[in-house]
């Protein structure tokens, strides 16, 4: 491809509304151009990077017997009603009505469609297992699209769905896809981690995320050499701090004391001259039980910890995400305003974070405004509904093998879910087993954000001059800067190299514009293709061209005949 054919103009300045470096670089280099909030046109370079990544994804999936199909983007309401998600799915679901008054949505995911697609084809146990996938444009009506392709409305995704006889076979499919994903992301040449994750809207009971590590990643991860989890779900194995001062170990009778105007743990800590971790805080939640009933509950945890609502929901098997009670609701259940509340005398269930187990007694609010109470002992002074892991893990906590958690940031680019029969039951995806008995097919679903991954690679691999594409997804491998386009001999040199590389099937880009060398160098660094060749009149006289490696800046001159060999050697090495 030649620059003059692309219609691309680069930008020198960082565009407004680009908070992430990768977003700014992609806009500046003409890789993407905003049409409207969250809607982008992918320019010629971006399309090539996307296609290269799609190629990797297809190759690895096909190699492991996954089969490609393509489902409609527009989906009829009926199947979403059948799965129960027409109402339950959140506002990201873009609905519409056609001129015949039929309702549709734009697919953010395809569990319903694939279930409908396969169900007539699966009749007997002999028809299973299999795994289908598609690479397709998806749509989510993000309320606040941002970070370029990271949180766009329209984006490209690879979604795969596995169909198995039983849970055991389905877990094998899950593990297979997990290893396919590892193969895919390994080929990108950027650091990534597989982390334990929340199943979110999709449902199911096992899921892991694939994250490309990057300083500006949206998600906080806790990792050790052998373990990784998203902060949102990371279990607490061993606490970062198991020491307590004397005060936390007393077994004396309850003792109320006046704490005028002290409404926060920080203030109480100052007042008592005790670390926050020695104090006990209480939070009140409204929880929806599986019966649908809403119930207020109280949660105790160390004053220095943070309550994790995901864990509350998961550990208590709640139907929806719990919500915090309002101040007036708290007053109603405890008798006091927030800041003076505690477990003693409550009539609602009181749960306790596991980290409080070593405490023999607590200092808590007294359920009387401006009073606290010490020597509170569980089961003596209040009834305990349960003990569990309810807090966020934090840096310094230890993993399952005792190694200390490090915090890092990641960009979620892939997600694997074991679904079980969540969809197959509602969508009636069944088979007859060997005994002729009807059984529900066990499903898994697996996504890779194609466009998101490409931007994540840029986020992970750039410097202040521009992008540094890894070979695997580089739009072009070689960028020829024709420095004296007016000089016939130089032009021929560049054209010959361009043609030779094309013949060798090396992806080559030729900057044939009438621009000064400085402009071309800056643009080449911005676009960031792995190898640049400077072809100018002065070196050209001597039959030489300069090869520059984008990542290292290493540069060396070669004769026209040597350079092809040198490039091929470098490209194949990567």
Residues that bind a copy of itself (CB under 8 A): 1-2, 4-9, 30, 33, 35-36, 39-44, 46-48, 50, 65-76, 78-79, 91, 94-100, 104, 106, 113, 116-118, 120-123, 126-127, 130-132, 137, 139, 141, 143, 153-154, 163, 514
CA–CA distance, 204 with 184 (Å, rounded to integer): 24
- Cβ proximity to a copy of itself, 155 vs 227, nearer residue: 155
- Cβ proximity to a copy of itself, 126 vs 383, nearer residue: 126
Question: Closest distance between a copy of itself and the C-beta of residue 383, in Å?
Answer: 44
Strand, helix or coil for residue 173: helix
Question: Closest distance between a copy of itself and the C-beta of residue 217, in Å?
Answer: 25
Question: Closest distance between a copy of itself and the C-beta of residue 559, in Å?
Answer: 29
Question: Closest distance between a copy of itself and the C-beta of residue 107, in Å?
Answer: 10
Question: Closest distance between a copy of itself and the C-beta of residue 413, in Å?
Answer: 19
Across-strand partners of 207?
417
- Cβ proximity to a copy of itself, 94 vs 206, nearer residue: 94
CA–CA distance, 366 with 257 (Å, rounded to integer): 9
Q: Which of 181, 414, 383, 404 is nearest to 300 (CA)?
A: 383
CA–CA distance, 209 with 211 (Å, rounded to integer): 6
CA–CA distance, 128 with 166 (Å, rounded to integer): 10
Strand, helix or coil for residue 375: strand
- Cβ proximity to a copy of itself, 159 vs 208, nearer residue: 159
CA–CA distance, 370 with 365 (Å, rounded to integer): 8
Question: Closest distance between a copy of itself and the C-beta of residue 453, in Å?
Answer: 16
- H or E element that contains 570: helix 560-573
- Cβ proximity to a copy of itself, 120 vs 561, nearer residue: 120
- Cβ proximity to a copy of itself, 40 vs 53, nearer residue: 40
Contact 231, 243 (CB under 8 A): no
- Cβ proximity to a copy of itself, 41 vs 321, nearer residue: 41
Question: Closest distance between a copy of itself and the C-beta of residue 288, in Å?
Answer: 24
For residue 418, CA distances in Å to 154, 193, 264, 312, 372 come to 26, 19, 42, 21, 47
- Cβ proximity to a copy of itself, 32 vs 188, nearer residue: 32
Residue 447: alpha-carbon gap to chain centroid = 11
- Cβ proximity to a copy of itself, 14 vs 96, nearer residue: 96
Question: Closest distance between a copy of itself and the C-beta of residue 67, in Å?
Answer: 5
Across-strand partners of 286?
296, 323
CA–CA distance, 183 with 194 (Å, rounded to integer): 12
Contact 224, 406 (CB under 8 A): yes
DSSP 230-282: ETTTPPPSB-S-----GGGG--PPPEEEE-TT--SHHHHHHHHT--GGGSEEE
Question: Closest distance between a copy of itself and the C-beta of residue 412, in Å?
Answer: 22
């Amino acid at each position: 491809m030649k620059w003059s054919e692309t219609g691309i103009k680069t930008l020198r300045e960082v565009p407004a509304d680009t908070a992430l470096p990768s977003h700014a670089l992609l806009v500046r280099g003409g890789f993407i151009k905003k049409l409207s909030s969250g809607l982008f046109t992918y320019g010629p370079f971006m399309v090539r990077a996307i296609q290269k990544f799609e190629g990797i994804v297809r190759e690895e999936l096909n190699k492991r017997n996954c089969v490609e199909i393509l489902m409609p983007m527009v989906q009829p309401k009926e199947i979403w009603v059948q799965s129960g998600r027409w109402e339950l799915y959140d506002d990201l679901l873009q609905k519409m009505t056609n001129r015949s008054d039929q309702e549709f949505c734009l697919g953010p995911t395809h569990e319903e469609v694939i279930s409908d697609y396969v169900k007539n084809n699966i009749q007997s146990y002999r028809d299973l297992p299999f795994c289908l996938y598609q690479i397709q444009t998806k749509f989510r009506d993000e309320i606040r699209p941002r970070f370029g392709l990271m949180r766009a409305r329209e984006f490209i995704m690879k979604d795969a769905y596995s169909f198995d006889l039983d849970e055991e076979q389905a877990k094998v499919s899950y593990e297979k896809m997990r290893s396919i994903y590892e193969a895919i992301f390994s080929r990108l040449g950027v650091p990534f981690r597989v982390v334990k994750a929340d199943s979110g809207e999709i449902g199911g009971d096992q899921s892991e995320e694939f994250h490309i590590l990057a300083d500006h990643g949206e998600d906080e991860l806790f990792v050790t050499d052998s373990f990784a989890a998203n902060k949102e779900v990371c279990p607490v194995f061993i606490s970062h701090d198991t020491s307590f001062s004397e005060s936390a170990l007393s077994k004396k009778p309850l003792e109320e004391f006046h704490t005028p105007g002290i409404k926060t743990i920080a203030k109480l800590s100052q007042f008592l001259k005790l670390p926050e971790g020695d104090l006990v805080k209480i939070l009140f939640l409204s929880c929806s039980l599986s019966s649908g009933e809403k119930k207020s509950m109280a949660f105790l945890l160390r004053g220095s910890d943070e309550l994790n609502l995901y864990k509350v929901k998961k550990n208590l098997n709640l139907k929806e995400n719990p919500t915090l009670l309002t101040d007036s609701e708290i007053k109603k259940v405890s008798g006091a305003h927030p800041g003076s509340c505690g477990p003693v005398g409550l009539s609602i269930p009181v749960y306790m974070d596991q980290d409080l187990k070593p405490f023999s007694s607590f200092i808590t609010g007294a359920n009387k405004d401006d009073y606290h109470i010490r020597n509170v002992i569980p089961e003596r002074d209040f009834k305990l509904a349960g003990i569990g892991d309810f807090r966020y893990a934090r840096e310094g906590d230890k993993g399952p093998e005792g190694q200390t958690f490090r915090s890092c940031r990641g960009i979620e680019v892939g997600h694997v879910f074991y679904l079980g029969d969540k969809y197959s039951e509602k969508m009636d995806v069944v088979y007859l087993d060997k005994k002729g008995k009807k059984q529900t097919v066990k499903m898994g679903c697996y996504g890779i954000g194609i466009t998101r991954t490409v931007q994540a690679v840029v986020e992970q691999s750039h410097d202040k001059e521009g992008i540094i594409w890894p070979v695997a997804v580089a739009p072009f491998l070689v960028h020829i800067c024709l420095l004296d386009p007016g000089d016939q001999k130089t032009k021929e040199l560049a054209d010959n190299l361009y043609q030779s590389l094309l013949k060798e099937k090396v992806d080559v880009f030729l900057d044939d514009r009438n621009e000064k060398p400085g402009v071309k160098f800056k643009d080449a660094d911005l676009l960031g293709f792995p190898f640049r060749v400077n072809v100018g009149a002065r070196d050209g006289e001597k039959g030489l061209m300069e090869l520059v490696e984008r990542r290292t800046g290493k540069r060396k001159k070669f004769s026209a005949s040597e350079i092809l060999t040198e490039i091929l050697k470098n490209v194949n090495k990567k």
